[in-house]
Amino acid sequence: MKVLDLFCGMGGWSIGFRRQGFEPTGLDIDDVGYPYDFILDDIRDFDGNPFKGKFEVIVASPPCTEYSSLAKFSALRGQRPFPDPEKGNLLVKEAKRVIEQIQPRFWVLENVKGSLKPIYSILGVPRMRYGPWQLWGNFPRFLMPSSNMKKWNGSREESWLDRPLRFNPLGAWLRAKIPIGLSEAIAKACKESLTV
């Protein structure tokens, strides 16, 4: 069983899928330590047609900065431009294009609450909403893990919420990492559906 992780970052989706026996491949424009097979490419340039039927599952977490309310605060402080949801939607449309090209059995696209209205015009209503995670796609029902973030990420030491507030060049990547408990729960449901 193979999973393609679009906008893979540090591999939060992929780690949970690997734990459930999937072979992950990540795609992103930067390599920040993704632990499995990796395709260094911009999704806008990526052609999914040669991969048609080669992945049973595609997961995607397009960057949330163009939807995030936290980005607005940074913009007010002059640290970045104001969020532009249309710019964020371009990457969502590219993820949708790749999903349609590859035609996996299951797919999940995740983003923040601030993305609901902009992404609605592309993907409709999310299939599941849970805390800050909004999930669109075609995926089997699954049991949600505990809502305790520390449990989702493993041990207390692994939770970025417990780290002291100081500059970390990987801070944005760590905050964007999908909780392993969530990815593993979805992976388990996909595996059970694929092996029936």
By annotation, the residues acting in catalysis are: 64
Cβ count within 10 A of residue 194? 15
Long-range CB pairs of 73-80, under 8 A, 24+ apart, other chains included? none
Nearest Cα neighbor of 182 from 36, 63, 19, 2 is: 19
Using DSSP's 3-state secondary structure scheme, residue 126 falls into coil
**Got the DSSP string for 60-119?**
E----TTT-HHHHHHHHTTSSPPP-HHHHHHHHHHHHHHHHHH--SEEEEEE-GGGHHHH
Nearest Cα neighbor of 72 from 80, 63, 61 is: 80
Task: Provide the terminal-to-terminal Cα distance of the chain, rounded to the nearest Å.
Answer: 13
